[in-house]
Every structure is written in structure tokens, then in C-alpha cells.
């Protein structure tokens, strides 16, 4: 089977031409001409350049261009031999732009997903988390000198609150205050808050009641 590289080399030598002379005349780099003669198509740039090199080389040698291209196509397995251009020789945008576009699309999709997820968490946080509850007074293990104790703190204004099983109103800003009657000695005060989704938070305050004379 006739190989295009062998035909080119024999014709070049028959015309007593060197690869250097042909490279200067065709503007094809000498190493590419040598690769064509050896059939080392992996050393060539992309397939478009490879076809162009073979066409110009055949034309310069005076060989039938279409016949030369047909021989080249028979040898050239594009799936195996096509290579990207060497660094600094190819246009980097040919390869970097698709990666950039894919990367930018993923960033946008991820950003939208995070925004939607954050919105859903914000809207339905009451269904996921227990309602907040803080008690400013009395403090844990505090000693009080009266059987009447003021309980105050802050919670979710959209919840229901009870202290020792008695309902307590909540202000629009979430604060609450309630005076309760306790027994002398160690007493546990139970503060319970429940939101509309049935999520419950319970805090206990233990106080020592020592009423004055």
C-alpha cells in the first residue's frame, strides 16, 4: 500500500530538495513536514492544519492534490490522531471558552439554588426549628423574697406561651411579662412556647423563695 509520506519523501529526493528548503517555500514548519513523511500524524496540529499541510506539500511537489489527500485520509485516523495544537501555537480560546461557559453556568445554577433554598428555609423555618425562647428574669437558682415573682423574656411573637400552664400574652416584638404566685422554698417555674407547626421549646427556672416577714 502506497503511503503518502513515502510518496512525498521520494518525490522530494527525486527533485533534490531538502526539508529546510520546502519549509521556507511553503511556510510549513520543518518538523511538520518530517512528521508527514514518517506518517507520524500525532505530531501534527488539528486535523484542519494537517489537511492543509498535505495539500500545500503535494501542490509544491507537483503531485496530484486530490490523490494525495485521498491517500492521507486512508492513513489518517482522525479519532486517534487528532491532537490539540501545541501550547503557544493554538488559540487557547478554542478550549478555554467552553470550560468557562460551563463553569459560569454551574455558578449561576448553584447561586439560584442557594437563594431558593435560603428563601424556603426562611419562610418555613418555624416548621423545621423549635421557637426561640429566652428568660431574662428570674435567673436560674435566684433567691426571691416574695411569693409573687415576675417572669419576663422574649420569644417568637407568632407562637403561644404558657407559664406553669397559664396562657401568657406576647407583645408584637416578642417580649412577654407575667407575675405569678409561687410557694416558699425551692420552686421550679415552667415556661413553654409552641409555634403553629407544633414545634415546642421549654425552659425551666429554679428559684429559692424566701418571703420576708
Q: Are 150 and 168 in contact (CB under 8 A)?
A: no
Kindly give the pairing relationship between strand 142-144 and strand 200-209: parallel
| Residue 97: pLDDT over 50 | no
Within a domain: 57: yes
**pLDDT tens digit string along 36-84?**
999 888 888 777 888 889 999 999 999 999 988 888 888 876 545 444 4
Q: Are 34 and 19 in contact (CB under 8 A)?
A: yes
Q: Are 50 and 44 in contact (CB under 8 A)?
A: yes
| Residues 69 and 36 grouped into a single domain | yes
Residues 6+ apart with CB under 8 A from 141: 206, 207, 208
Within a domain: 86: no
| Residues 107 and 56 grouped into a single domain | no
d(CA 89, CA 86): 5
Residue owning grid cell 480560546: 93
Within a domain: 153: yes
Within a domain: 35: yes
Domain span at residue 165 reads 130-209
| Residues 164 and 102 grouped into a single domain | no
pLDDT at 178: 93
**pLDDT tens digit string along 183-209?**
898 999 999 999 888 889 999 999 999
**pLDDT tens digit string along 98-146?**
555 667 788 889 888 899 888 877 767 777 788 899 999 999 999 989 8
| Residues 76 and 97 grouped into a single domain | no
pLDDT at 98: 54
Total structural domains within the chain: 3
CATH number for position 44: 1.10.260.40
Within a domain: 112: yes
pLDDT at 31: 92
Torsion of CA 35, 38, 59, 7, to 10 degrees: 180
Amino acid at each position: 500500500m502506497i503511503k503518502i509520506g513515502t510518496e512525498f519523501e521520494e518525490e522530494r529526493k527525486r527533485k533534490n530538495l531538502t526539508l529546510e528548503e520546502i519549509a521556507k517555500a511553503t511556510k510549513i514548519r520543518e518538523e511538520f513536514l518530517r512528521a508527514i513523511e514518517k506518517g507520524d500524524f500525532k505530531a501534527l496540529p488539528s486535523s484542519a492544519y494537517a489537511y492543509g499541510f498535505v495539500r500545500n506539500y503535494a501542490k509544491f511537489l507537483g503531485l496530484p492534490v486530490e490523490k494525495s489527500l485521498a491517500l492521507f485520509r486512508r492513513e489518517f485516523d482522525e479519532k486517534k490522531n487528532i491532537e490539540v495544537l501545541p501550547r503557544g501555537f493554538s488559540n487557547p480560546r478554542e478550549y478555554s471558552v467552553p470550560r468557562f461557559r460551563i463553569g459560569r453556568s454551574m455558578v449561576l445554577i448553584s447561586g439560584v439554588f442557594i437563594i431558593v433554598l435560603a428563601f424556603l428555609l426562611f419562610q418555613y423555618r418555624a416548621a423545621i426549628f423549635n421557637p426561640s425562647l429566652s428568660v431574662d428574669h428570674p435567673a436560674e437558682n435566684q433567691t426571691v423574697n416574695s411569693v409573687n415573682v415576675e417572669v419576663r423574656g422574649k420569644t417568637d411573637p407568632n407562637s403561644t406561651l404558657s407559664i406553669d400552664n397559664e396562657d401568657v400574652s406576647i407583645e408584637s416584638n416578642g417580649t412577654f411579662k407575667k407575675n405569678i404566685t409561687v410557694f416558699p422554698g425551692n420552686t421550679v417555674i415552667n415556661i413553654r412556647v409552641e409555634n403553629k407547626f407544633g414545634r415546642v421549646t421549654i425552659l425551666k427556672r429554679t428559684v429559692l423563695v424566701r418571703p420576708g416577714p
